Amino acid sequence: MINERIAKLINDQMNFEVESAYLYFAMAADLDCRDLDGFSNWMKIQGQEELQHVTRFYTYLVEREGRPFFTGMPAPQKEWESPLSIFQAALVHERKVTDRINKIITAAHEEGDHATVNYVNWFINEQIEEEANVKTVIAQLKLIQDSGQGMFMLNKELAARQLTVPPAQTQ
């Protein structure tokens, strides 16, 4: 059975992952309205990954005899200044996610919850990848600046991103 403190942190994170998906779909909408379908695809895939995280946390809670609960969330921002500002906002958001995941693993260590430590390690590694991916796009956007040709090429590259389903996680 999962510790009450850990269950609350995981429920909070599960809800934050829903909020993350909501944010990424709002970013995708802004990019679609700019006719940047490749950039939008990148954000839609990001949103779908966040929903996978929701499912993983939900399943973990149930497996550990915890109770998943869902709460309301604030509406996301609707518009950004530029594609660069969208990806910069995504990086800020991913760093918040990383901080929250770190707090879960710290609490799991404090509570002696080795199963949760083991489980959350996957998310630690996932966050390293998430931040690195966003930083790469930011660096590319800064490199191309206002180049229409550069935006065209990057848009085409980001359109190729596909959703990958991670293998089932075991305790």
Global confidence as pTM: 0.93
What pLDDT, on a 0 to 100 scale, did the predictor assign at position 168? 65
Q: Which residues of the chain have pLDDT under 50?
A: 170-171
Compute φ and ψ for 87, nearest 5 degrees: -70, -30
Q: Which residues contact 73 (CB under 8 A, 6 or more apart)?
A: 15, 18, 19, 22
CA 152, CA 154: separation in Å to the nearest integer? Answer: 6
Write the pLDDT tens digit of every residue in 86-119: 999 999 999 999 999 999 999 999 999 999 999 9
By residue count, the chain amounts to: 171
CA distance to 1, 4, 101, 126, per residue, from 113 (Å): 10, 11, 15, 20
CA 115, CA 64: separation in Å to the nearest integer? Answer: 9
CATH architecture, domain 4-159: Up-down Bundle (1.20)
